[in-house]
Amino acid sequence: MVESKAPVGYVEVLVECPFCGGYVPDDFECLKCGSEIMEETDYEQMMFVCSICREDVGDGADECEYCGAELE
């Protein structure tokens, strides 16, 4: 029987768009509303998600509790 390895992902940081309130990657333009997001060092709200299944994980998580991915 072949044992499958857990997928490898990473903890992705999403920031709250100040215009539409959606959580998006820390880019220059919001993927949801298209507004330009100014580069800031301190965002109001941040979310940490698994890059594989997009579920919430802790900032320093080593493994996703939802899909079992090893987070680097």
pLDDT at 46: 86
Q: Which of 30, 5, 4 is nearest to 18 (CA)?
A: 30
pLDDT for position 34 = 92
Between these two residues, 37 and 72, which has the higher pLDDT value?
A: 72
DSSP string, 20-69: T--EEESSSB-TTT-PBPPP-SS-S-EEEEETTT--B--TT-SB-TTT-P
Q: In the predicted model, is pLDDT for residue 1 greater than 70? A: no
Domain segments of the chain as ranges: 1-49
User: Could you read off the pLDDT of 3-43 as tens digits, one per residue?
Assistant: 677 789 999 989 888 889 888 887 788 889 999 877 655 55
